[in-house]
Structure formats: C-alpha cells, structure tokens
Amino acid sequence: MKVVIVGDGKVGGTIASQLATEGHDIIVIDNNTTVLTNAVNTMDIISVEGNGASLEVQRRAGVESADILIAATSADEVNMLACLLGKKLGARHTIARVRSPEYISQIAFLKDELGLSMSVNPELAAAGEISRLLRFPSALKIEPFARGRVELVEVRIPEHSVLDGMPLWAIYKEFQVKILICAVQREGKVFIPSGAFVLQAGDKINVTAPHLEIAKFFRIIGIFRSSVKSVMIIGGGRMAYYLAKEMLMLRVRVKIIELDMKRCEYLCEMLPEAVIIHGDGTDKELLQEEGLEKTDAVVTLTSMDEENIVVSLYAKVKKVSKVIAKINRISFDEILDKLDIDGFISPKTIAANNIVRYVRAMQNSVGSSNVETLHRLINDQVEALEFRVNENSPVVGIPLKDLRTKDELLVATIIRGTQVIIPAGNDTIEIGDNVIIVTAKKHLMDLKDILK
C-alpha cells in the first residue's frame, strides 16, 4: 500500500518505521532536511521536503494516488488541514493526530466534516493505559481485547511463588481458574509455551482471560493488589491532564506537580478537584513535603526520559507501591527491563500500534477475517492480534488439535457472543467469532495466516 506520512517527529517516525518493515511504500513529508536525511538513511522510504499542509507539496508526494495519508505533526491544526487537502486530492483514507483537549471534545464532528477515517491522540491513549494499570496495580501491562471483555496482562513471578517450578498443564488442575499463559519472558528470551513448559521465579508471564478470572488467579497466587486511592503525577502536560481527569472520575485523590506557573493556573481551572503544586518534581525535598511516601502511586510524565526514570527510581526507594514512567526513547529496552520500575509507557508506540492495526484491517478488508485489535508485547518481540471471522476460511469448524498452525503461535481466546472461551484441543473457530492470536511470527494479516 502507498502511505504518505506528514511529519517525521517521534510519532511520525515510529509509524514510518513500523509500516516500512511491513512492506508498504512510505513517503514522508517534513520541513526538516536533517530529519529527512536520517530517515532515508535508516529506513526504506522516500522523502519529500516541504510543508505537509501545502497543496503543491502533497502533489509532489503523490497524495492523489495514496491509500492512506497520516498527518502526525506536533500541530493539530496542520494535521487536520493536511488531511482535508489529502482527501480532496484523492487519498482513500486519512488519519490525523489530534491532541488538544479542546478538539478532542468535538472530534466526532471534526471527523465527519474533514472526512477523517481515524483520529489518534497518543497522550489520551497512554493515559487510558496508565489508568488501567492503576486500577489493577498487580499488573506490569494490560492490553484489552474485545472492547475490554478480555485482557492480556503481564506480571512477574516473585521469589518463592507457588508457580515456581510448576508446568503450565498443572495450573487449572491446581487452581481451577480459566486462564492461559500465552507468552513467557526469561533472561531476555521469549517463549510461546506449550503445556509442558515449566515456570520459574523471575519469569515475566503474559496471562489472557476475562478480568475477573485474572483477578481470581492473582489472589490465589498471592500477588493481587487493590486499586490505588491516591496518585502523584510529576509533570502537568496533556497526558497528565487526561490521566488526572480519568482518575478523578474514579474518585482517586490526584496531586500534580508542575514547574510552569501558567500551566499550573490552567490545570487549576480545568481540574478543580485535583491538588496542583507549582514546583520542581525532581526536587526530593518537595516530593517529601508533598507526601511522596504516603501516596499509593507515582506517575512521572515530564518531557525528559532521564527525569522520569530518576524520579521513578527514587519513588521505589521510598517504597511507593506502584510507579510508572513515560518513556519516549525505548531503544534501550534491555536496561529498562532491569530497572526497579513497575511500568513504562510510550505514547508514540501506542499511537503507532493503533495505526498499524488500522492499516492491516484496511489491507485485508476483503479477506475472511479482519484485524480488530493489535498489541505488541515484550519489546515488540510478540504480537497479540484479535481477528473477527467474517466468512468461511480454512480454520473454521476444525478442532484446534487438528489445525496445523505455525510454530511459536497460540490461539489464546475465542469470543463467541457473550461467551469467552479459553480454548482446548476440541474447541473450534466459527464464523462470527472474535479470535485472539499470540505469536512471535509478525505481520499476520488474516486468520488463515496462522496455518503452516
């Protein structure tokens, strides 16, 4: 597919990289010569220098024959104008990055008027992910499927756990819980496990099931923690606003520490129920004065990765139960995995994953199944995809034990109407089902791609 991306910043660059690896024809438009040169040198793309909201520049990029135009600059207005022009020129689909709370409140109207296929708000999506982690703090990551009816949760097996030394086949026999462990990370290696796989303390495991079953499982193995009642947010940007708003709706006490006075005044006006502190969130004396050690959770959302990591580590030293840090540069994943921080959030990666899911669904719109949800797990080494089975395909009606599926792949869950099935060998996939596949084989486009 031909994809034109306007803006080669954090989000645009991440989208370009992911879509280029999937074999799409990528054209990137940006004003910055240096950024474009670096992109061309590191990715298989074509660059066009200029203003992406210019009709002439879009014509030079061939937008009139593009399957998708994605506008991902830092300015919402530029993105919306670029998409409007692209639609008028003939781009089949347009996607705009829209971040401002003022625009988000009227996004349905804007989508209709501008002809947008999709809008992406990385900060809002990241805030939603953090909110889920604060409501279920036992988890390191939570990925929702089937509109929240099924979750894929990552957790670390602690020392002296009842799971240490237990094969997967014994879990249901021992605990009577309907869950599936579909991926295991151990010492930098990733396993899509069979029933004979034996768990060890220190493993990071990905568990899929309805939320209540996962909570029951966590209680049985002794790692369940109740949702937080208070949260301290370091940094008062857009993500902090979206997160605070959601937490206040859940009756969680919210305190935001922000260095910029004007931003503090804005937050006071927009979030009257939150406590807004004007100060440096990296000042440990201020953190102590504001009750760091008494808060249930700390979320570091400044614009500097280094500050977020340092403050998060300090919070863990002070025994804060749940600590989450925003990270823009995730290339040092081996180091991040070794840090004593409960979770890392990358808004650009979340946005890119949502767009890649849309592109795959559009690419396979005439296939037997569409990609409904896509999550990348374990430093992008594993993909979890939700397919909607629209019509007959080679996998329908055949017991799973008789399907010749690819290696390093699991059929993790089948959602059939109101029923959530953790599948066994005799279960089948039927038309109308939603099916969750977990695989180390990337770029699945259709459910039939699970077959050898």
pLDDT of residue 313 exceeding 90: yes
How many C-alpha atoms does 355 have within 13 Å on its Cβ side?
Answer: 34
pLDDT of residue 330 exceeding 90: no
Show the tokens assigned to 441: 């084989």
Say which DSSP state 167 is in: B
Give me the sheet containing 322-326, strands edge to edge: 275-278, 253-258, 230-234, 297-300, 322-326, 343-345
Cα separation, 302 vs 307, whole angstroms: 7
pLDDT of residue 334 exceeding 80: no
Q: What's the confidence (pLDDT) of residue 368? A: 59
Q: pLDDT per residue over 261-295, tens digit each?
A: 999 999 999 999 999 999 999 999 999 999 999 99
Q: How high does pLDDT run on average in the chain?
A: 92
CB 274 within 8 A of CB 245: no
pLDDT of residue 102 exceeding 80: yes
CB 242 within 8 A of CB 236: no
Task: List Cβ neighbours of 246 (8 Å cut-off, separation of 6 or more).
Answer: 127, 128, 131
Instruction: Report CA Rg, the chain.
Output: 23
Place of tokens 């139960």: 321
pLDDT band of residue 380 (cuts 50, 70, 90) is confident
pLDDT of residue 28 exceeding 70: yes
pLDDT of residue 366 exceeding 60: no
Q: What's the confidence (pLDDT) of residue 359? A: 86
Instruction: Give the mean model confidence (pLDDT) for residues 241-246.
Output: 97
pLDDT of residue 49 exceeding 80: yes
- DSSP secondary structure string, 219-275? HHTT---PPPSEEEEE--SHHHHHHHHHHHHTT-EEEEEES-HHHHHHHHHH-TTSE
Q: What's the confidence (pLDDT) of residue 276? A: 98
Q: pLDDT per residue over 116-173, tens digit each?
A: 999 999 999 999 999 999 999 999 999 999 888 999 999 999 999 999 999 999 999 9
What three-state secondary structure class fits 211? helix
What whole-number percentage of the chain has pLDDT above 70? Answer: 98
Instruction: Give the mean model confidence (pLDDT) for residues 325-330.
Output: 84
The domains of the chain, with CATH numbers, are 2-120 (3.40.50.720), 138-220 (3.30.70.1450), 230-345 (3.40.50.720), 359-450 (3.30.70.1450)
What three-state secondary structure class fits 96? strand
pLDDT of residue 47 exceeding 90: yes
pLDDT of residue 104 exceeding 90: no
Instruction: Give the mean model confidence (pLDDT) for residues 220-246.
Output: 96
